[in-house]
Structure 1
Amino acid sequence: MTSTAAPAPVPLSGPRFQTEPAELYREIRRDHGSVAPVLLDGDVPAWLVLGYRELHQVTGDPELFSRDSELWNQWERIPADWPLLPMIGRKQPSILYTIGERHRQRAAMISGALGAVDPAELRAHAERFADELIDTFCDKGTSDLIADYATLLPVRVLARLYGFADEDGPGLVTALNDMIDGRERALAGQQHLLRSMQRLLVTKHTAPGPDVASRMLADPSGFTDEEIVQDLMVMMAAGHQPTADWIGNSLRLMLTDSRFAASLFGGRHSVAEAMNEVLWEDTPTQNVAGRWAARDTRLGDRQIKAGDLLLLGLAAANSDPQVRTDGASFTGGNNAFFSFGHGEHRCPFPAQEIAEVIARTGIEVVLDRVPDIDLAVPASAVTSRPSPWLRGLAELPVRFTPTPALGDTPR
């Protein structure tokens, strides 16, 4: 009698997250089911939740699947310089790791501060920064829309909304990208962002303004500066890079798929459709860390031990064949994707709305300014960054007819 060994845990790294993540997730689901054992940097074990229903269960039960990272049963083997520490933090007083009533208070504070952003002011900032960025390359006839545009626009807008001076934007872009990439400069990026937020609060204590940071400081719930600094860091990181990738992934889709060709000549309906399709099929946030099991339990036919880390496989769940039967397309307004999370720890609705305005404005402005834009390389040559966490393009080379810069001319 022969026995078949269980498939080995899947390393959550490697080029296939860059080149063919959808096929990789299908293989993991085939070999392991809806909850798969994976290995993080340093062979640290975790579970990747790929099933749509299982992910709904995990995110909908914060008592059993907690955000309290102190529960993790692997802390004793985690070195101080582990590159994923900025993403899987310990004793961080941010909303990410707060639970219960205190989390709900903080979520309300953040939603109130973001919800007070004036939509017209938000769009005006997005248009102005988009125009300024396009002015730097529109007369050249070529550009990398990732390096020159998408990775710069969201943080410039968010920095202005939060209360930063415009000149602080470039340094914040570098720090955020380093931190989110989860590689050798991750901790340095986190420290730059931390110091920037601390300086911002010092300024806003003495000179408050009509900005997000000042509104958070004025909240009557009694949050400390340390808590607000940590929440601002979370808000900036969660708001910038996924939005930048939303812009890049949507532009790639529109430049390579004939269904969206009308948008390249001033159409608007197709922009929203392309953005929605990206959230289903090519979501910027692939995997999120995480939840920790508060006690032994079962999930998707797996025995989960108390303290086990569960990673939220948002991209895999969006393509779960149990809910995407017969290859069904959920574009065209269906918003049941997991791209913004689910449950009480999901991305706040005002933050989602801000991200959508920045992304849609960024796409519309670049199509207005360079209407004959086209890929400068074959579609197959457009590659993504090698990250299992965020799905974004390494570059998006385009060509177009050179146009003059707007300069200070109002739109």
Structure 2
Amino acid sequence: MSIFSGLFRSRDKPTNSTTGSSYRFFFGGTTSGKAVTERSAMQMTAVYSCVRILSEAIAGLPMHLYRYGEGGSKEKAINHPLYFLLHDEPNPEMTSFVFRETLMTHLLLWGNAYAQIIRNGKGEVVALYPLMPNRMTVNRDENGELYYEYQTSQDEAHTMNGSRVRLQPSDVLHVPGLGFDGLVGYSPIAMAKNAIGMAIACEEYGAKFFANGATPGGILEHPGVVKDPERVRESWNSAFGGSSNANKVAVLEEGMKYTPISISPEQAQFLETRKFQINEIARIFRIPPHMIGDLEKSSFSNIEQQSLEFVKYTLDPWVCRWEQSMQRALLSPDEKKDYFFKFNVDGLLRGDYQSRMNGYAVGRQNGWMSANDIRELENLDRIPEEEGGDLYLINGNMTKLKDAGIFAASAQTQEEADETKETQTEPEPEDGRTRFRKKEAL
């Protein structure tokens, strides 16, 4: 029995749907009157763009399994089975890019990403399969131990048997998002449902506005009594309703008059509202507006800085979640001492060509970068060691770092030798002294 069983006994199966691994309370109606779910939200172009940008960014980053070496060095553990699984193919049905893209999409929409860990008889990981977050619950048993319960479906790969399957934490790779209890994350879509619902309402209003011929609603006035008002209404709608009938000229008979009563979209600030909702959705996912097509406040002077901030403040926290979750779930206690996962974001932090070359020049001239270090960062072939590709140089005469003091030491030794020779020289004859004085005078 776990020593923490007594501490967590009160947090067993949650009774309130806003706690634990269930957040059904948040989905459904919004103040705008539109139902918001993870699937309806993806029909919004701004939500789809944000999810796609983050998912493709995480999926496209180079990810490697490293092993600690002597003296604090590190090397790629290409012979470890996990290296191939995460770098190339997590399972026979998908590539590493598709696997990470799928899990990142789940993480952004549901707040959690789950994958089933398939192990062989030795306990080694041989495959990883994504699991749908909306069918997964995380709870504690009577001893306070965590377990995962998954509701299977006919549309999935049959890696499980039974309709409801209980999985141990060692069988699940779980990447949680921002949450309240540290165990499960909560959906950004559910938390921001009112903002997304308003965006859906604005889009629907605009679509209906153009579907009705872009003509404000109004009243048909007749000086007498209309015997069949329904027929008149249908006749008007069939003649002037719809975008295909926009701007047609209406001919009114028997003194009939048309009076518009609706306000225009400009007066209702329709376009401004739609633009604000796009920025609101970008704020939910912490995406710079220029990355989803809003270049209003972007310029050549700040767009590069915004891109760097995207890597630092948006991608880095997600990368940390991935690295630490994989290390916790996929590595054994002994392997955690020697191995670690690492996403390489250096390619996204690279500046323009001139800035990179200036930075390389500073590193090369000050002795902390070799030619091969620079060529590796630029994805170029290495210079053979015998040709000096691994030499570290310093500014000045471009001397080897280990030989930096040789010339100074030799010059000092020569100077001391000259002084010693001068003090030990025997007095010359008078003629010699005279010649010496003349030479000195010259």
TM-score of the superposition, structure 2-length normalised? 0.22
Higher relative contact order (CA 8 A, sep 6+): 1
Q: In terms of Rg, which structure is larger?
A: 2
TM-score between the two structures when normalised by the length of structure 1 = 0.23
- Higher normalized helix content (fraction of residues): 1
